[in-house]
Structure 1
Amino acid sequence: MYSDPEKLLRAMFDAAVAAAQPSLCVPPHLPEKPEGKLIVIGAGKASASMARAVEQHWSGPLSGLVVTRYGHAVACDKIEVVEAAHPVPDKAGLDAAARILDLARSAGPDDTVLCLISGGGSALLPMPLEPLMLEDKQAVTRALLACGAPISEINCVRRHLSGIKGGRLAAAAHPARVVSLLISDVPGDHPLDIASGPTVGDPTTADDARAILKRYDISAPQAVLDVLASVRCESVKPDDERLKNTENVMIAAPQISLEAAAEIAVRESLPVHILSDAIEGEARDVGKTLAGIALQVARRGQPFEPPCILLSGGETTVTVRGQGRGGRNVEFLLSLAQTLEAQPGIWALAADTDGVDGIEETAGAIVTPDTRERGLAKGMTLAAALADNDGHGFFGALGDAVVTGPTTTNVNDFRAIYIRERAEEKT
């Protein structure tokens, strides 16, 4: 059915996104009706579509508020939807976070607080610990995003500068029952790292946060350093009594989406190999590594025989060196294409399942066997684009960008490499 490799890869990506849609994964996990009220709160790129799924499948009264990224809102009747900035927080997020915390505090012992948490929630729920200002959090966020730190370390710092993350949101709702439905966008699906764990006990400490800033030589504002040196920055720990009535439920994750994508290829009688759903590291290094595996398959028939498709997920990072328009998926693809050296018979797609790679309103891109040559014909080289972190500029000029618009979900990065045939032996 898919004679065109590009159409096949795009169909697989679309299947991965569809498998994580809240309309499918939210309804089976709704809690039983409480004696009191159902209060719905949440944050993340999928929170609005999760809220709509709750409304469509809940028969009793409910109310609440969720915050999502600009452009990711969907219409809800009873749950208010607010939009705010991502990945660097803004005042709209700050105001929404205060209102969400107030809703949690308003819950009584007979109420249930339903938290809808997905990727992006860290930036969308900014509540700096006093006396920090929003500008302090923005400065630290920008520095962390640019230094190449993994999401687990970024979120550790965020938790210790926040009045709502690291279990504080669930603690505020005590003694009400708290049920959190989580859509994972983090390697390993650790609940603590999804939106920095607003309803999850945090075993990390202020010492850990300070060590991360030192490791990446981040010059944080003095107010940030002062807060991290104080006892008030410690997050809610896993054994805290206020979390005893809290349940965190994983309802969608990268592995589920990779398996859905694999089904598309299987229908085409193509072998599929899921390498991992939790690959981390510098995007350009991951690109080199996966290109090396693809070349081994194409040239040696090892460890897999072509034709076949290699799938992976996770979250890479980018250390910003240039001034281009980039994101981790297009950075990965630039490095992959450079290492493949125009090897015939290999295509690849990498994209973010939320529809936004970095800060660009583009999900990712596609690499073809002639990507390098088409770039040269337009006066562009892969090496120059990679040095300038200009993946979106490069692939956009070729017409190879993957544009979806907001997908209203988020299970992180999707990568697929199609090796169609063995390389011809050179004589």
Structure 2
Amino acid sequence: MSSGTTTPPRAITGCVGKRIRVILGPTGQDYLVLLNHDDGVRPWQEADWSGDIPGPVARQINNCTNKGRYITQVDFNTSTGAWFVSGVKCDGSGGHSWWGGTDNGDAISESASARDCTKVSFGSCDYNSEMFCVITGNNGFAHQNIPKSLLNRMNRINKLKKSIHFIRLFEHFQYFIKDDEGTKWRVSGTHLGRELKKLGGNVSDVALAEDGSWLIVGHNSYSASTGVSKDLCSSLDDFYRKQQSRNSKRGNEIRLFHARNRELEEEAARIREQRAEAIRIEQETLRLQREEAIRRQLQDEDRRLREEQARMEREEAQKEAELIEEADSIHRLQEHINNRKWALLDAADSLSPDKRNRVQVHINTPNGSGSTTRSNCVICQERSSELAIIPCGHVCLCSECSQESQQHNVGVVERCPICRNQVQSTLKIFIQ
């Protein structure tokens, strides 16, 4: 399962007031308003004006609109006739500025050629002479006829490398400035000054007509004096309402997106955990099966070995019993043969010694042939045996060992070295 869309809906940034630019002309009925709409999908701009507005300004705004340009900066002063308009294409390229009716064209041209953010404001001082200020970048500026209090503040902001947000110049040395330190103004209207103080840093724009009518654009609402066009106020009411609704809707869409993404990620995590658990169980099952197979194999091998051992023990016991029985049978047969030998020997006692010895040898020699297989002497293990032991008949001694034993009185020949029966005499055997 996918972990969700990686790109959230585009957020609508900034407060509603920062999307509004209002300029008043000779009266509150003379105005220019720019409304920068944004629904999160696409931005668009709406321009409207009424009354005594400089013709070049209206024409340039129409030209920009027809060519798909957005107005980024605009200002004018109907007393001096000075005006300034700048715009860009929808993609932010193709920025250009236009101006006229001003004594400060060179300063504007120099600032505009720097391709930096240029903010121009026009006002008037005594005898409708031009009051002018242009802000380039964050705090660079050029000016003409501005009040000393405003110039001192601008110099301080520049020296401290802070930013000037915007300046509005009005009639008779009146002004308003907003910068990183806050706001400062010089206006003649008591109600306007009181309203500016109440709003503090929440001021997005200020417009002041030559007749004293005023309008303050706040972040989320506006304030206007009597005399300001009802059509303008209606447009602002409608824009605030719609744009705030768009902001809220887009915010909800973004929150829903992130919530849905979290759900998808949690679901994906659960699936991964389930798969991991299934794999673990499968591996554990396989391990147990292997161990069981090995255990059974070992049990079978152990049983086979025990059975083999038992079989071998049974066979060995059976073989032992058979051998013991065979040995017992041999012993019984040997005893029977010995008894018969002794009976024959007893019967041979009545014969002469020579005949008795031959009978004894014949009794102890296979087939009565008198021949025997000559083997080495059981004492020296070197010479051939040639003496037969009487009465058992074993041929197991050589003459030298027999004589040696007798000379040293060892007594080896008192008993047969093989069967240990008593030796009565020995008989030398000649084998051809």
Task: Give TM-score, length-normalised by structure 2.
Answer: 0.25
Q: Which has the higher strand share?
A: 2
Q: Which has the higher helix share?
A: 2
Task: Give TM-score, length-normalised by structure 1.
Answer: 0.25
Larger radius of gyration between Structure 1 and Structure 2: 2
